[in-house]
Structure 1
């Protein structure tokens, strides 16, 4: 069975806008190497799966989605053991201003070099490296790749199966975009921004369904 070494990811990092959020960011560590059998993992229903994002700045917030390009969940004896999600950054959408001219402007800015530089980095990835059960809840560690940076993150999640379809769903969690070298109006890189900053913390959640 052919195996390849993947450095990983998801995404979901997405940004722009809102007040300082009260949630703490999740801990970010160095990426871990993991062996994933890609053939076995190609079972994600990308049409039914989604990454949700929310970004903040002092004057408000914006939220939207990003679609998956491919991926898979390996479930053995009813337990999640491995997973891989490839995120198509060209599918970033904005929902809070849907139907207005502002939507196109926000999406264009997110796609630009100020944020995700989608022309250069069209994909983000998340690959599960470890799954634990703590007090009855899943604690999932994985390599998150955004742009040219890959970090290991640990997030709370659930796994359910109904009518043969398994759903892997994360709770909302925050990442710090500065950890992934996204600098636009970030207090981590620029001083004296006053109220012209964009919050470093980006809220992400995702729901991944099998075929």
Structure 2
């Protein structure tokens, strides 16, 4: 009986491990800030459609996950010969939305308030975050976009795969789902890599993100 129980635990552990590895998005390559690409005089400018652009987010803890969206306040993409050659967008941190809890439930407003206060993003002090493109390259059949992400007075360069579609008048940029380590941007609440007395009350350092940007020729 004891042997069978141990085998059952082992199978359960392996199953959970495989499931977790399979579902975990790849962490974006993160490094020190780099020089931002300046648009050439002949570059074509596309302005973001704010109603059709957003960033999906997901956070994890031992007891589950939460997810939602963040909006943009502005965004510009520049192209040369139809290829992205610079740009930036500004993230409206006050627009944090939770979608895994029904909007009418108290838990929704409570979580939005918690994410917005000093524990997490402190949106009154830091109402916006920015992403400024520093490079784009093709690698192993994928397009990799790099840019400086500035959040809560911290700036790091992140690189992640994107799909870009250019119809001439409309430019869309869709990233693969990726993660960033929030502690690199001074978001430390509930991090067991920062605090050693949390037990199982921690919140994962990784935040999952997916960028969707639609822009029209100006």
TM-score bracket, shorter-length normalisation: 0.7 to 0.9
1:83 CA drift (Å): 1.7
Structure 2 contact 53–213 (Cα < 8 Å) conserved: yes
Map 1:176-187 → 2, pairs under 5 A: 176-187=181-192
List alignment gaps of at least 5 residues for structure 2.
1-19
1:27 CA drift (Å): 2.6
State the secondary structure of the residue aligned to 2:131: strand
**CA distance in structure 1 between the partners assigned to 2:63 and 2:214 by the alignment:** 35
Structure 1 runs, 4 residues or longer, greater than 4 Å off: 37-42
1:160 CA drift (Å): 0.6
Structure 1 contact 41–84 (Cα < 8 Å) conserved: no
2:33 to 31, 39, 64: 31
**Range that drifts further, 73-82 or 60-69:** 73-82
**Which one has the bigger helix percentage?**
2
1:164 CA drift (Å): 2.5
Q: Give the match for residue 169 of structure 1.
A: 174
Q: What is the root-mean-square deviation of aligned Cα atoms in Å?
A: 2.1
- TM-score normalised to the size of structure 2? 0.82
Name the CA shift for 1:96/1:48 in 2 (closer, same or farther; >3 Å): same
List alignment gaps of at least 5 residues for structure 1.
1-18
Structure 1 contact 52–64 (Cα < 8 Å) conserved: yes
Structure 1 contact 142–154 (Cα < 8 Å) conserved: yes
- TM-score normalised to the size of structure 1? 0.85
State the secondary structure of the residue aligned to 2:156: strand
State the secondary structure of the residue aligned to 1:108: helix
Q: 1:125 and 2:130 equivalent?
A: yes
Give the paired residue count. Answer: 193
Q: 1:189 and 2:194 equivalent?
A: yes
1:23 CA drift (Å): 3.7
**Range that drifts further, 190-199 or 23-32:** 23-32
**CA distance in structure 2 between the partners assigned to 1:35 and 1:142 by the alignment:** 9
Q: 1:79 and 2:97 equivalent?
A: no
**Range that drifts further, 103-112 or 24-33:** 24-33
State the secondary structure of the residue aligned to 2:47: coil
Map 1:13-52 → 2, pairs under 5 A: 22-37=24-39, 41=45, 43-52=47-56
State the secondary structure of the residue aligned to 1:34: coil
**CA distance in structure 2 between the partners assigned to 1:83 and 1:146 by the alignment:** 18
